[in-house]
Amino acid sequence: MYVSAWPFDGVSQSGSQQRQRAVGRVAFSAAGLDGRTRPMRIEESGSMRIRLPKGAGRGLDAVLVNTAGGIACGDRFSVRIEAGSGAAVTVATPAAEKVYRSDGPVAELVVDLKVAADARLDWLPQETLLFDQARLCRSLAADMAENASLTLFEAVVFGREARAERIMDGLFEDRWRIRRGGRLIYADTLRIDGPIGDLLRKPAVGNGARAFATLIHVAPDAEAWLDLVREHLSSIGGCDAAASAWNGLLAVRFCALKIEALRAAAIPFLLAFRGEPLPRVWLS
């Protein structure tokens, strides 16, 4: 058992930012034992919790819960998930994560994933919903063994459709790094700062779309899925989607005007691709 250093130690805030902020941390590990995945360690602090609902399969579903009720300016969260040898772990969230407007401070979310030999980890949080003037920087780092399997799916929505909200200003930075066998195989950083609504209307950026999602799948046979995935995507409607494969990984991008259209395309795709039901919280 280990307790890692809090990644935001030493970060100071100015006088205008001294309001109480949510701080949360979760560290969770599981391993394959006797043909089933068993939890090995759970560490929780602040407003972050992890729950392990009973599932029918041999894998383990884990649900991350933010008891703060969303992410506000200056909040700081850290999540560390480790799938040990032979484990099969799926991580989800119970609902969309709301990121509220900020008067300056940036909220931070750090995700650290480790996947051991012969293990599988599926990272499937529900969408992140950015309010007007939200400011969020998040990073995801994954370190996996050569024969491990990793599936990442993240969706983000700019503005609340129910309020006809358009994001006039804000900051969203999303940084992904994946290492396989100690070698960096995927690096991607998205940063949208300033007049986000205007930027998303540009044809080369979003062409008016407000809901986006990315799936990255890394496994020994990841590239072999490309033709089947493209065939499936060619039949969807209401959502633009495309796939590519290289360097031992598969990447799929989704883009839609509304989150309902994106979910209508992504959920059947995830069901077919994974060959098993989504976590029950996705259907609640």
Q: Is residue 102 part of a domain?
A: yes
Q: Mind giving me the DSSP string for 192-252?
A: EEE-HHHHHHSTTTTTT--EEEEEEEESTTGGGGHHHHHHHHTT--SSEEEEEEETTEEEE
- Please give the backbone phi and psi of residue 233, each rounded to the nearest 5 degrees, phi first: -65, -30
Residue 235 located in a structural domain? no
Structural domains counted in the chain: 1
- What pLDDT is recorded for position 54? 80
DSSP 5: P
pLDDT of residue 28: 97
The boundaries of the domain holding residue 208 are: 22-212
Residue 251: which of 220, 212, 225 has the closest Cα?
225
- The pLDDT of residue 15: 43
Q: How far is CA 252 from the centre of its chain?
A: 14
Whether residue 176 lies inside any domain: the answer is: yes
Whether 234 maps to a domain, the answer reads: no
In sequence order, the β-bridge partners of residue 28 are 42, 81
- Could you give the CA distance from residue 105 to residue 114 in angstroms, rounded to a whole number? 30
The pLDDT of residue 10: 39
Q: Is 226 exposed, middle or buried (0-12, 13-18, 19+ CB in 10 A)?
A: middle
SS3 state of residue 121? strand
Cα separation, 204 vs 242, in Å, equals 15
> pLDDT truncated to tens, each residue of the chain (284 aa)?
333 333 444 344 444 446 678 899 999 999 999 889 999 999 999 999 999 988 766 799 999 999 988 999 899 999 999 999 999 999 999 999 999 998 889 999 999 999 999 999 999 999 999 999 999 999 999 999 999 999 999 999 998 876 767 788 899 999 999 999 999 999 999 999 989 888 888 888 888 888 999 999 999 999 999 999 999 999 998 899 999 999 999 999 999 999 999 999 999 999 999 999 999 998 86
> Which residues does 86 contact at the CB level (< 8 Å), separation at least 6?
31, 32, 33, 37, 116, 118, 119
The answer as to whether 277 is a domain residue is no
> In this structure, is residue 130 part of a structural domain?
yes
